[in-house]
Structure 1
Amino acid sequence: MYNSQLPTDGSHAPISTAIGSDTFDPPAERHGNERIRLLLKSFGLRTSLIRLKVIDALLRAAEQDRSLGVRGVHTQLLELDIPLSFLSVREVLKRLCSEGVIVLNPDKSYSLHPKAAAVLQQA
């Protein structure tokens, strides 16, 4: 039986049993996502990758004193190599607005609702 992980030149592959100390440590991004997970849960929403990324994009923009509309959020996600369609981003933003997590500003940009911001401050 052929095993693609074994060398084919007749030599034996070295077997390593050492596991790095960081093997089971979650990446730094996961800790940031944990706050957003708690936020979504507090609003009765399930966690999804697109919701995490959209909220994260809005938070990053707010930290940089920028505002993002649908196109801005979509562009920022594409720059991070997160291939989501424009329509998907728009639908997630609309759903987060209807649930009170974010608000649509008069200039058509989105920002975190003050209640959601308070939840994140506590997390």
Structure 2
Amino acid sequence: MHNSHIPTDGSQQHRDANFQPDPGLLEVLAPLHGNERIRHLLKCFGLRTSLVRLKVIDALLTAAGNERRLGVRGMHSHLQALDIPLSFLSVREVLKRLCSEGVVVLNSDKSYSLHPQAEAVLTGRIEA
């Protein structure tokens, strides 16, 4: 049984109800809140949390913070470089599902990025 009050990643996070993040600091905010923000994002879009989804969204956040875009192959290579053993097919299917749910968009250059609404949820500008 899942208890949302117990951190599962080993870190303890405290929220300040008055905190209003700067929407231009997506790449700075994402690491500060770890997987908790990504879990919240997935929940807002009605998706279950899975290791593959967490890692894929985290990789998209990292790429956005470095002003890069990742396609399926780039995403898979990035995850392998981090010693995250996910198959190419798993990465591709997760990206397709995240696209179909509106969390991620497929760009014209076949790269993926977070949907603007998903970015807004992560930065606290809106609650989905």
TM-score w.r.t. structure 1 length?
Answer: 0.76
- Give the structure 2 partner of residue 88 of structure 1: 90
1:53 paired residue number? 55
What is the rounded CA distance, in whole Å, between the counterparts of 1:122 and 1:87 in structure 2?
32
More RCO (CA 8 Å, sep 6+): 2
Q: How many residues align?
A: 100
2:102 equivalent to 1:100: yes
In structure 1, distance between residues paired with 2:68 and 2:9: 32
Q: Which residue of 2 aligns with 1:18?
A: none
Over 3 Å counting, the alpha-carbon distance change for 1:82 and 1:62 in structure 2 is same
Q: Percent identity?
A: 74
* 1:61-101 deviations in Å (ceiling 9; x for gaps): 00000000000110010001001100000000000000000
Q: Which runs of 4+ in 1 moved over 6 A?
A: none
Displacement after TM superposition at 1:30 (Å):
9.3
- Runs of 5+ in structure 1 lacking a partner? 1-23
Matched, 1:36 2:38: yes
* Residue type at the aligned position of 1:55: I
SS at match of 2:38: helix
Note the aligned Cα RMSD (angstroms): 2.1
- Within a 5 Å distance, the mapping from 1:101-116 to structure 2 comes to 101-116=103-118
Letter matched to residue 122 of structure 1: G
Mapped to 2, the partners of 1:88 and 1:114 lie a distance apart of 24
2:48 partner SS: coil
TM-score, scaled to structure 2: 0.73
Gaps of 5+ in 2: 1-7, 13-30
The amino acid of 1:34's aligned partner reads: E
